Chain A
Amino acid sequence: MSTLTRHRTGLLLTLLSAALVAAAVVALLLGRYPKPGFTNPLALFSDPLAGQIFFRLRLPRVLLSILLGMTLATSGAVFQLIFSNPLVEPGFLGVTQGAAFGAVLAILLFGGSLPAIQLSAALCGLAGLGLAYLLARRIRFGGWILRLILSGLAVSALFTAGIGIFKYAADPLTQLPEITFWLLGGLSHISWGELLWVFPVASIGLALLVMFRWRVNLFTLSDETAFALGTSPERVRLVLILAATLAVAAVISVSGIVLWLGLIVPHLSRRIFGADGRYSVPGSLLIGGGFGLLCDTLARMLLPGEIPLGILSSLLGAILFAVILTRRGFRQ
């Protein structure tokens, strides 16, 4: 990229950050109290209930929706680069299905206890990655990447089968609806309590991914070449996979399953910023934050009842994907 376009890319990233902050402020003022639509900022001080809703419900929820989008999109961008495969999404190594399995298990065992569901989802998500990793070590053929992808598929299928068994065994009147809602994803129950522990975990993972944004390019090359360029491909890959997975497990343990976002946003970012992770990874961070915010704001605004987040992310994601695929690159 020439000096000129590099300055333009930097400017674009700055503008995108400013737009995200502005969008967050607007989203905070949107809601269904006192009436559906825009809340007058002055009412926050005159109406105590409006103030409560604003600070105790909307603010943590808006922040978490941005964090969720950032985490899924950035992890997706880094995963696609280090697996040299534009079709992987951040949960494919058994994390998403592991977390879903954990949540469903907790719903059956402990009823609707939120902390139990979140803890169980986070632990089982990490267990999913561990299992996929161990299985990949034992596969006797193919390169390391292929082995990880295959074992991720197998472990995800295993957990999906487990979820199927639980659903079959669940009480159709009480437990099954709750399972279904969790699997569709959503942030309606978010309070400062969740943000307090999800934020540190996710932001440490995100910081690591963003810091490695240029070096991550080396892992799109063959392992011999990455090695010849003075790196230890297996070690760095493992560190980045762990950082991304920890962050993803933390956010989806409170949000439930939100598909597509982590797959689509990196494609959009590469269309705008080019393949180089130096710009496409921070680009994914910002676009992902905006996409998470948009989906969640629609989820709570569009209908009097809450729309599950996973439905909106899949719907918008699929439309966006079709648009990206059928348009020529922005950069030519």
Chain B
Amino acid sequence: MKDPAALTFSKVSFTHGGDAPRIRNCSFEVPKGSITAILGPNGAGKTTLLHLALGWLHPATGRISLFGTDLHALTPRLRGKTQSLLPQKEPTGFEYTVLEYVLLGRAPHLKPLAAPGERDIRIATNALSQTTILPLEYQSISRLSGGETQLLLLARSLTQEPKLLLLDEPMNHLDLKHRKEILELLLDWRAEGKTALLTTHDPETAALLADRLILIFPGGGMISGTLAELFTGEHLSELYGLPIRTFAQDGRFFVDY
């Protein structure tokens, strides 16, 4: 039997109450050990697709499986141990310290009434040092910069020890240094054989991070394939509705528009 992909969508359709289907008959695979980017213009339905992959939204028809098991048949805890979400924005009304906040990632690993112990603190501290914000451990999260906050959310996702990372626009609003840090973390993540699925509206981010692409066209069409197959002027021009050229240099892809 074939080793199942990390995530499989089979003929998935989704409708926001009453409207025309947002996502129609969508099938793709996210292979293990890949970084797959969902690429498309604003409002094309990228976040909807990510929330379907999370199980937060339910497909009207079709099936989604996570490492070979039906996503909606998983217990919440097992689902939480398997995949994590880095949301686009996270409201923070309370003054948690960085460490307290990152420890929330341990929730699916703990019994319902348990609190994190020494081992959980070690895992969280480790994630903080990977994301370079360990020195901020005892600082209030309300005093972090935008880039530090993104690293904080990533540290929480890593503390969850998932096999599949879901990331909603991970590179948005970041300066070059923080982009580079997140890029390196995700490439290390893939080098460990783990999997990530992310959304982005920016072709450069997709070319930088991903080895596979899912393109969502404004009309609702969708294709998936490797970066080399899909990162062409023709596809990108159709995606954004303006003339775009792409070129490759030293095995990396660039866009010009």
Contacts and interface: CB of A to CB of B under 8 A. Distances in A.
B210 interface: no
A1 to B, nearest CB: 7
B138 A2 contact: yes
Contact of A225 (B76, B85, B114, B138): B85
A221 interface: yes
A85 interface: yes
A274 B81 contact: no
Interface in A205-237: 211-215, 217-218, 220-225, 227-232
Interface in B97-116: 97, 99-100, 104-105, 107-108, 112-116
B94 A220 contact: yes
B234 interface: no
A230 B76 contact: yes
A222 B96 contact: no
B43 interface: no
Nearest to B94: A275
A231 B107 contact: yes
A81 B104 CA distance: 14
A227 B100 contact: no
A230 B80 contact: yes
Contact of A230 (B79, B92, B97, B138): B79
Contacts of A278: 115
A214 B93 contact: no
A248 to B, nearest CB: 22
A276 B113 CA distance: 15
A222 B91 contact: yes
A1 B99 contact: yes
A61 interface: no
Contacts of B114: 214
Given A227-B54, A231-B76, A276 B108 contact: no
Contacts of B90: 221-222, 225
A263 B55 CA distance: 36
Main secondary structure of the interface of B (DSSP, over half): mixed
Main secondary structure of the interface of A (DSSP, over half): loop
B171 interface: no
B94 A81 contact: yes
A217 B102 CA distance: 11
Nearest to A220: B94
Contacts of A229: 80, 84, 104-105, 107-108, 160
B142 to A, nearest CB: 10
Contact of A215 (B54, B79, B94, B107): B107
A86 interface: yes
Interface string A160-172: 0000000000000
A213 B112 CA distance: 10
Nearest to B107: A229
B245 interface: no
* Chain B interface size range: 35 or more
A229 B100 CA distance: 15
A270 interface: yes
Given A229-B80, A229-B104, A86 B54 contact: no
Interface in A119-167: none
Given A2-B138, A86-B94, A230-B81, A221 B104 contact: yes
Contacts of B41: none
A231 B138 CA distance: 26
Given A214-B116, A224-B51, A224-B87, A230 B93 contact: no
Contact of A218 (B51, B56, B107): B107
Nearest to A280: B94
A214 B56 contact: no
B77 interface: yes
Contact of A222 (B83, B87, B105): B87
Contacts of B92: 220
A274 B54 contact: no
A265 to B, nearest CB: 16
A84 interface: yes
A274 B99 CA distance: 12
Interface of B: 51, 54-56, 76-81, 83-85, 87, 90-97, 99-100, 104-105, 107-108, 112-116, 118, 138, 160, 166
Given A221-B91, A225-B90, A270-B94, 12 more contacts: A81-B94, A84-B91, A212-B113, A215-B107, A217-B104, A224-B56, A225-B85, A228-B80, A230-B76, A231-B107, A274-B96, A275-B96
30 contacts: A1-B97, A1-B99, A84-B91, A84-B93, A86-B94, A211-B113, A212-B112, A214-B114, A215-B112, A215-B113, A217-B96, A217-B100, A218-B104, A218-B107, A220-B93, A224-B56, A225-B85, A227-B54, A227-B55, A228-B54, A228-B80, A229-B84, A229-B107, A229-B160, A231-B107, A274-B95, A275-B94, A275-B100, A276-B100, A278-B115
